[in-house]
Chains A and B, each alone.
Chain A
Amino acid sequence: MTFTGAIGAVCMFPLHAIIRVCVRLRIHPNVLTLTGVVINVLAACALGLRRFVLAGVLMVLANIFDFIDGKVAKELELESRFGAFWDSVMDRFSDITLFIGLIYLYSELQRTDYVIITALAMMFSVMTSYTRARAESLIDKCKVGFMERPERIVLFMIGAFTNRMAAVLWVILVLSVVTVADRIYYTWRELRQAEDLVPRGARL
């Protein structure tokens, strides 16, 4: 087993217990999703006020809700297409909120350079999700690139708990740019291959 796999397996123990409690209480998964967003807003406020450890704790809490909502929906047989849409939209709110907290902090500190870096990291994080969603309306799957939401969230937590947010922002920015480029290239390649399979006369 890889070490990231082992960490994931260890984290699953308490999460299974929380999922069981939520299922027993029959909490609607959409409520869990919304609760996660509200806690993420509080985490963003803590980031903005330079309370990094508190922000880290709130992020852990928020992402527990974010992680379990799908599992609870499955257990309660409440999976729906709207639930998937709601979860996806709320994820974008949560992502952007955390970046806004940091933008507020760096603007308070009059660090224009880091305001720009954070804004760019926010833009490319949103673009990472958008490119995949748009690509998967054209091709079967577009799951390439390293920097997806779980990686971003864990990096935010590491940055908050160890007070290394600047380095984390650089990593998120650079790898998000690469991920967006990967998805654009992959989609172009897949579409070109699909077009090559269609006889020239049959094309629209």
Chain B
Amino acid sequence: MTQIVTWPALVLWRALFWTYERATWQYDLMVIAILAFVWLTPPSWIGDPVATDPGPVEWVMGLLR
């Protein structure tokens, strides 16, 4: 049980207290997470003043509506 609780906490701590070099798999994961946030977050959610297109997520949500 302790391991189940501490494992996510450890991952979070290592992501926040960053000690990894560039060009490591941890760095790649972080880059993927950042790019996903930048490209997938609908601009309207963060009130982007200059974005002209709704982005892929909002486009898909529009199709589902």
Which residues does A use to contact B, with CB under 8 Å?
Answer: 1-5, 8, 50, 52, 105-106, 109, 111, 113-114, 144-146, 150, 155, 158-159, 162-168, 170-171, 175, 178-179, 182, 185-186
| Residues in A whose Cβ lies below 8 Å from that of B50 | 50, 52, 105, 109, 163, 165-166
Chain B residue with minimal CB distance to A158? Answer: B38
Is there an interface contact between A167 and B41, defined as CB atoms closer than 8 Å?
yes
Contacting pair A178 B16 (CB below 8 A): yes
Among residues 24 to 50 in chain B, which have CB atoms less than 8 Å away from a CB atom of chain A?
A: 24-25, 27-28, 30-31, 34-35, 37-39, 41, 43, 46-50
CB contact between A4 and one of B28, B37, B52 (< 8 Å): that residue: B28
Tell me if A162 and B18 are in contact (CB < 8 A).
Answer: no
Are A179 and B49 touching (Cβ within 8 A)?
no
Which residues of B lie under 8 Å from residue A182 when comparing CB positions? Answer: 16-18
CB nearest to B30 among chain A residues: A146
B46 interface neighbour in A144, A162, A166, A178, Cβ under 8 Å: A166
Interface footprint category on B: 20 to 34
- What separation, in Å, do the CA atoms of A139 and B53 have in the docked complex? 48
Q: Are B43 and A2 in contact (CB under 8 A)?
A: no
Do A113 and B23 contact each other (CB < 8 Å), given the known contacts A144-B18, A164-B39? Answer: no
A166 shortest CB reach to chain B, Å: 4
